[in-house]
Chains A and B, each alone.
Chain A
């Protein structure tokens, strides 16, 4: 079992819809969780991080964390074509480095 799992997609949503991206992790001791966005040919850039159970909102983005079920999700409201990218979930397990999932490719259709 991979430490951090994401559906590779592509996840296709129409412009203006809510995109829901999910991530599960295997280490119950994981402490914090990050969502990165990566455009094709570019390096990952941080969208947001979360470390407490519940929701955290930042503009059109909401991260949700459920430690009991070991999943974290990212919701993108009012999706725009410019949101089309690969979204990487990353988990900090206390070993200094982040463990990344393989990413979910999102396509927002105009």
Chain B
């Protein structure tokens, strides 16, 4: 059974803190993605990775960085959290190819105070 897990379901952080969100997939997928989802704005791609140590910027990378040291694990880092980064963060993974489904993790709801 397909499985993508995220390290936390809910997080509360203070402005200026460094925040780590972790995602693990057990399907040996090459691609991994980080999205944020906000009401009325839909899913927006922050970063994705198509191989270990490889990353590409998505549509809204500012204020974020990522790390992929192992194939199954993809981390999203907020270097200095700000209130406008309060959001739902969704991780996904897929095989390479135009017909490959993206499978999502349960999401992390982050509140930055």
Query: Which A residues have a C-beta under 8 Å from some C-beta of B?
Result: 8, 31-32, 34, 42-46, 49, 51, 88, 90, 92, 94, 96-103
- Nearest-Cβ distance from residue B106 to partner chain A, whole angstroms: 5
Q: Would you call the interface of chain B mostly helix, strand, loop, or mixed?
A: strand
Residues of B within 8 A of A98 (CB): 102
- Nearest-Cβ distance from residue A10 to partner chain B, whole angstroms: 13
Q: Bound complex: CA of A101 vs CA of B101, how far in Å?
A: 16
Query: Which B residues have a C-beta under 8 Å from some C-beta of A?
Result: 31, 33, 35, 40-45, 48, 50, 56, 58, 90, 96, 98-99, 101-107
With beta carbons under 8 angstroms apart, the residue of B43, B98, B105 that contacts A88 is B43
Asked whether, in the complex, the Cβ of A97 is within 8 Å of the Cβ of B45, the reply is: yes
Q: Bound complex: CA of A55 vs CA of B89, how far in Å?
A: 33
